[in-house]
Amino acid sequence: MNKTAVIAAIVALMAALGLTGYKIVKDNGEPVPYAVDMDAQLVSKVIDGDTFTIQDGPKIRLIGINAPEEKECYFASSTEYLKSLIENKKVKLEKDISGTDEYGRLLRYAILPSMSATEDNLLINEALVRNGYAVREQQSPDSRYKDLLATAEAEAKKAGKGIWGACKTASNIPANEEREIDLGPPFPECNIKGNISEKGFGKTYLVPGCDNYEKTKVDTRKGEQYFCFEDDAIEAGFRKAENCP
């Protein structure tokens, strides 16, 4: 066996064992069309303060943070800041535990490589939080940078940066604690989760076994609700999430 064949065999083995740093298959066993974590990727468009697309690739949702939605306080500033950092630039994407969300977006940390050998790379997720353009949003099991993000948020809040200074009322701050209060189903058997997307994907429902079912919260303040039967969810205007069995 020549050297090229040996290297190819090693790479294939590492990929099969999940040692290459990217996800080859979804949690449901279906193939992921883009293995984006190997090389730097060109950011083609910033959608908002925590979402962007890569060239010829899927949408990327920055993990561990939450930026203001459209019509929320500081939305435009957050979006423009992310554009200034990464749009039309190459970033490296780092996966934690989760691969995708229920909308098919890749959940990733984004790293902007430094042009200098003596300067640190820039973790985009942390930069957004540290400068007050986003808040941290801890979702199990993705916790690689939870301490770093918590420290960054505490510093931004103390200094009144960005959101913490410009958005005076709690209702205008897109804090995870403010928006996601789940009191649980009224009855144990009524465990179908009706979720309303804040990213423009509409109203979907998830049943046990759906990807991200355990991480999805039902906040009745946003019009979300639990259902006992799928027919009830459909009648209320919800459609089944695409990555449900």
In a domain, 11, yes or no: no
Please identify which of the residues 61, 130, 136, 179 carries the catalytic annotation.
Answer: 61
In a domain, 217, yes or no: yes
pLDDT tens digits, residue range 119-173? Answer: 899 999 999 999 999 999 877 788 899 889 999 999 999 999 999 999 864 334 4
Verify that 98 and 163 share a domain, yes or no: yes
In a domain, 124, yes or no: yes
Verify that 160 and 187 share a domain, yes or no: no
Verify that 209 and 167 share a domain, yes or no: no
In a domain, 131, yes or no: yes
Verify that 135 and 42 share a domain, yes or no: yes
Question: Is residue 135 exposed (0-12), middle (13-18) or buried (19+ Cβ within 10 Å)?
Answer: buried
Mean pLDDT of all residues in 16-21: 37
Mean pLDDT of all residues in 92-108: 91
Verify that 133 and 210 share a domain, yes or no: no
Verify that 122 and 142 share a domain, yes or no: yes
pLDDT tens digits, residue range 199-234? Answer: 667 899 999 999 888 888 887 767 788 999 999 999
Verify that 48 and 161 share a domain, yes or no: yes
CATH label of the domain that carries residue 161: 2.40.50.90
| Structure token digits, residue 87 | 């749009």
Verify that 73 and 191 share a domain, yes or no: no
| Structure token digits, residue 39 | 């090389």
How many separate domains does the chain show? 2
Task: Specify whether 136 is catalytic.
Answer: no
Residue 123 belongs to what domain range? Answer: 23-176
What pLDDT, on the 0 to 100 scale, is given for residue 15? 41
- Strand order of the sheet with strand 239-240? 225-227, 192-196, 203-206, 239-240
The domain boundary, picked from 151, 176, 201, lies at 176
Verify that 138 and 201 share a domain, yes or no: no
In a domain, 56, yes or no: yes
Please identify which of the residues 69, 80, 94, 180 carries the catalytic annotation.
Answer: 69
Kindly give the pairing relationship between strand 225-227 and strand 59-62: unpaired
Verify that 41 and 154 share a domain, yes or no: yes
Verify that 165 and 184 share a domain, yes or no: no
Please identify which of the residues 72, 102, 105, 126 carries the catalytic annotation.
Answer: 105
The domain boundary, picked from 150, 176, 202, lies at 176
In a domain, 4, yes or no: no
Residue, of 36 and 234, whose pLDDT is higher: 234
Mean pLDDT of all residues in 101-111: 92
Give residues with Cβ within 8 angstroms of 146, minimum separation 6.
Answer: 64, 136, 138
DSSP-assigned beta bridge partners for residue 107: 61
In a domain, 88, yes or no: yes
Task: Specify whether 61 is catalytic.
Answer: yes
The domain boundary, picked from 126, 160, 176, lies at 176
Verify that 143 and 189 share a domain, yes or no: no
Cα 192 to Cα 241: distance, rounded to the nearest angstrom: 11
What pLDDT, on the 0 to 100 scale, is given for residue 30? 43
In a domain, 2, yes or no: no
Task: Specify whether 69 is catalytic.
Answer: yes
